[in-house]
Amino acid sequence: MRPSAIRLAALAAIAAPLLLAPRAGAASQPAQLVEPDQALALETALGLPQALGYGVSADGRRVVLAAATRNRSTLFLTAAGARPGVLTEGRRWDSAPRFVGDTMSVVFVSGRRPRGDEAETGRLFRLELGAEPEPLTGTDLQARSPAVDPAGERIAFLGRQVLEDASDLEPGIGWDIWIVSADGGNAERLTGHPGDEGPPVWSPDATRIAYTLASGAGRDLAVLAVGDGGDPVVLTAGSDRPVRGVPDWTPDGGGLAWASGASCDPECPEGGFDAIHFGEADGGGEPYPLLAGERDLAEPRFRPAGSAVGELEIAWIEADRGSRRIHRSRLERDGNGRWIAAGRVRIVTRGAGVARGLRWSRDGTRLFALHEAPVFPRDVWSYPVTGGRERITDTLFADIDVRRFSRPEGIELERDDATVRAFLYRPASPPEGAPAPLLVHVRGKAGDAWWNGFDPIVQLLTAQGYAVLAPNVRGTDGRGAAFAALNDADWGGADLEDLVALTRAARELPGVSPDGACIFGVEYGGFLALAALARHPDVFACGVEAMGFADPRTLNRTLDPERRAFVERELGPVRGNLENYRRLSLNGEADAVRAPLLTFHGEEVPEAPLAAKSDFLAELRSRPDYPLVELYFRGDTGRSVFRWETDRGANYAFFQKVLEFLSVHLQVN
């Protein structure tokens, strides 16, 4: 048990209330320590609240957490050592909570709507504790990523107008920076660049807003003076290093730090790792690398107080072999007037785990972040500058026995021009003399990597006796732009060979069955699963594919413009690359498939049009003796395959079918 942690009471019907207080007048009973004893089941794996975002009060003592619970997101208010309180219990999504100035009121984004309004539009709301949420924006404006100014008077946010006739919108206008009073009123649009702007960040004196905007390199960093009607200052104009994530201001408002990637055209310098850059907020001088190395760096955050005059302190997140760790360093000026790291770099979070959402308390005495590890889910933690750590929330049900969770081992292979890695999860308590059958679990969207975090489905599978291989083949992120570009224009080529090599290596390890394996993939992972069954029929004994595709050319043609742009960044436009698209297609290769296949489709899932694999499936259907199982999601419920918190019922049905299929074709001894 963790006495400092606050467990969120589960809103799902399957969970028992946690940290219950005794009824008034009840006889006092001596405390009993009870060891958790429950193994993870499908109902509990999908019923766990999933932390999505959080806000910290001005005094750093309270946290408001947005957590997905069943088919909605709820806001909880909590503090170290206190019971959590439920702030919202709506039937819609409540997210992105932020405290307003020094008050205890909260601004957040919600999908709730007025009575009789059938359109679900994300709007800004303000909630005074003990009262009902009040809307700050109307239903004609979608909102996300709110940022409250330091004085608590105004809220900047990303907004997009909702009109009955989309042709009324200005061409190319998407998500822009808007501003509204914290007390409500008419919202004002501040920007109108082509493409989408990034989340706004207020300067310490609340006179300027920093944000990113679309550019030829990917994204540029801009600073806009609020209220003067002038043009923004673009700090990275002409740079070939795209800006990643959200920037941060120095405490005096004179400069900004941001994560920046490398252009890979024609080559990625030094592997193209994301570095932390610094620039003067007025655009003077050239931006320069502040922190760099042979790992991806992200989320720079300046300590708002506590540094000596002429010094700064910065925290950031650094990727390292599947983990994302928080680091801190003092900064000082060098002989050229540039900031450089000084003294020892402190590693705030050690060991396996993934941190994100990094921020300082206003007084600079502690860091906050969402943190997870293989054996515990994502929660809010705080890290005092004096050392130590404290878990603020705990979303894992109290009766789940974490001793039954599997801790992954690393596999690394040298493959021609790339070193590829994977995590191997073994059953925590394997039966004597019975090797575990291997399930190869491929990530979804192209480029997505497996991180050393918590995955309840992987833990569920290992609890049922499977060994799970989580491969990071060439093309995945977290290891620099050069590695991410290794499968450009070659989906299903060398990345598939990496996958097969890792599978064969895992089958040679003690405790893993050397006979066959099953491959399971969603979206791009589904494409690799189909390619593996067709091009390496001797390696895999069965396959599960969901919302994938078999023909990249048809995928390109049937996607919306935003998603098509992603495919063309990876494979190039069809025009001029038609022969390569044909080479990558699996159409005509279904006759080579021997292993049974379970495949899922969705009626209205824009990320995964069925047309992109219909010809391949038709080839399989034409074989009267082939064991093909097809299942359909109605409407848009298939999106739960990508993000299961959007529809837990549909996702439960999905995984139930997957487990049934595995029990037949990948039996555990």
Q: Mean pLDDT throughout 655-663?
A: 96
Q: Mean pLDDT throughout 58-74?
A: 88
Asked whether the predicted pLDDT for residue 63 surpasses 90, the reply is: yes
Asked whether the predicted pLDDT for residue 515 surpasses 50, the reply is: yes
pLDDT at residue 428, rounded to an integer: 84
Average pLDDT, the chain: 88
Helix/strand/coil (H/E/C) assignment for every residue in 324-345 = EEEEEEEEEECCCCCEEEEEEE
Helix (H) or strand (E) holding 654: helix 648-665
Asked whether the predicted pLDDT for residue 435 surpasses 90, the reply is: yes
Q: Using 50, 70 and 90 to split pLDDT, how confident is the model at 310?
A: low
pLDDT at residue 113, rounded to an integer: 59
Q: Residue 404 has which token pair?
A: 């039954």
pLDDT at residue 576, rounded to an integer: 94
Asked whether the predicted pLDDT for residue 204 surpasses 70, the reply is: yes
Q: Mean pLDDT throughout 626-642?
A: 92
pLDDT at residue 17, rounded to an integer: 25
Q: Between 115 and 250, where is the model more confident?
A: 250
Asked whether the predicted pLDDT for residue 383 surpasses 90, the reply is: yes
pLDDT at residue 255, rounded to an integer: 96
| CA dist 204 → 248, 249, 250, 256, 285 (Å) | 10, 7, 8, 11, 21
Asked whether the predicted pLDDT for residue 101 surpasses 90, the reply is: yes
Asked whether the predicted pLDDT for residue 124 surpasses 90, the reply is: yes
Closest CA relative to residue 204, chosen from 285, 123, 312, 308: 312
pLDDT at residue 118, rounded to an integer: 39
For the chain, how far is it from start to end, CA to CA, in angstroms? Answer: 33
pLDDT at residue 413, rounded to an integer: 96
Q: Using 50, 70 and 90 to split pLDDT, how confident is the model at 11?
A: very low
pLDDT at residue 34, rounded to an integer: 64
Q: Mean pLDDT throughout 437-456?
A: 93
Q: Between 203 and 607, where is the model more confident?
A: 203
pLDDT tens digits, one per residue of 130-175: 888 999 999 889 999 999 999 999 999 999 987 665 444 454 468 9
| CA dist 359 → 212, 326, 350 (Å) | 19, 11, 18
Q: Mean pLDDT throughout 659-666?
A: 96
Phi-psi region of 8 (alpha: psi -120 to 50; beta: other; left: phi over 0): beta
Q: Using 50, 70 and 90 to split pLDDT, how confident is the model at 9?
A: very low
Asked whether the predicted pLDDT for residue 634 surpasses 60, the reply is: yes
Q: Between 546 and 174, where is the model more confident?
A: 546
Classified by CATH at the fold level, domain 402-665 comes out as: Rossmann fold (3.40.50)
Closest CA relative to residue 368, chosen from 380, 351, 379, 378: 380
pLDDT at residue 22, rounded to an integer: 30
Q: Mean pLDDT throughout 102-126?
A: 75
Q: Between 487 and 30, where is the model more confident?
A: 487
Q: Could you name the CATH architecture of 48-197? A: 6 Propeller (2.120)
**Residue 563 near residue 528 (C-beta atoms within 8 A):** no
Asked whether the predicted pLDDT for residue 8 surpasses 60, the reply is: no
pLDDT tens digits, one per residue of 218-265: 899 999 999 888 899 999 988 888 999 999 999 999 999 999 987 665
pLDDT at residue 510, rounded to an integer: 92
Q: Mean pLDDT throughout 283-291?
A: 93
Asked which of 267-276, 315-324, 603-612 is least confident by mean pLDDT, the reply is 267-276
Asked which of 191-205, 263-277, 526-540 is least confident by mean pLDDT, the reply is 263-277
pLDDT tens digits, one per residue of 320-364: 999 999 999 999 999 999 999 998 999 999 889 999 999 999 999
pLDDT at residue 264, rounded to an integer: 63
pLDDT tens digits, one per residue of 182-198: 999 999 999 998 889 99
Closest CA relative to residue 292, chosen from 328, 318, 325: 318
Residue 272 DSSP one-character state = G
Asked whether the predicted pLDDT for residue 88 surpasses 90, the reply is: no
| DSSP characters over 170-212 | PTTB-SEEEEEETT----EE----BBPPPPPEE-TTSSEEEEE
pLDDT at residue 131, rounded to an integer: 87
pLDDT at residue 266, rounded to an integer: 52
Q: Residue 171 has which token pair?
A: 């061409």
Determine the Cα–Cα distance for residues 134 and 105; give it in Å rounded to an integer: 11
pLDDT at residue 360, rounded to an integer: 96
Determine the Cα–Cα distance for residues 548 and 554; give it in Å rounded to an integer: 12
pLDDT tens digits, one per residue of 569-598: 899 999 999 999 999 999 999 999 999 999
Helix axes 524-535, 494-507, angle to 10 degrees: 70
Instruction: Report the range out of 35-49, 153-167, 262-276 with the highest average pLDDT.
Output: 35-49
pLDDT at residue 230, rounded to an integer: 86
Q: Where are the beta strands (DSSP E) in 537-584?
A: 542-546
Q: Mean pLDDT throughout 545-553?
A: 96
Asked whether the predicted pLDDT for residue 208 surpasses 80, the reply is: yes
Asked whether the predicted pLDDT for residue 480 surpasses 50, the reply is: yes
Instruction: Report the range out of 280-289, 472-481, 529-538, 602-611 with the highest average pLDDT.
Output: 529-538
Q: Using 50, 70 and 90 to split pLDDT, how confident is the model at 68?
A: confident
pLDDT at residue 3, rounded to an integer: 34
pLDDT at residue 307, rounded to an integer: 55
Q: Mean pLDDT throughout 642-655?
A: 85
pLDDT at residue 153, rounded to an integer: 96
Q: Using 50, 70 and 90 to split pLDDT, how confident is the model at 30?
A: low
- Sketch the domain layout of the chain as residue ranges: 48-197, 402-665
Q: Using 50, 70 and 90 to split pLDDT, how confident is the model at 417?
A: confident
Q: Mean pLDDT throughout 111-124?
A: 61
pLDDT at residue 171, rounded to an integer: 47
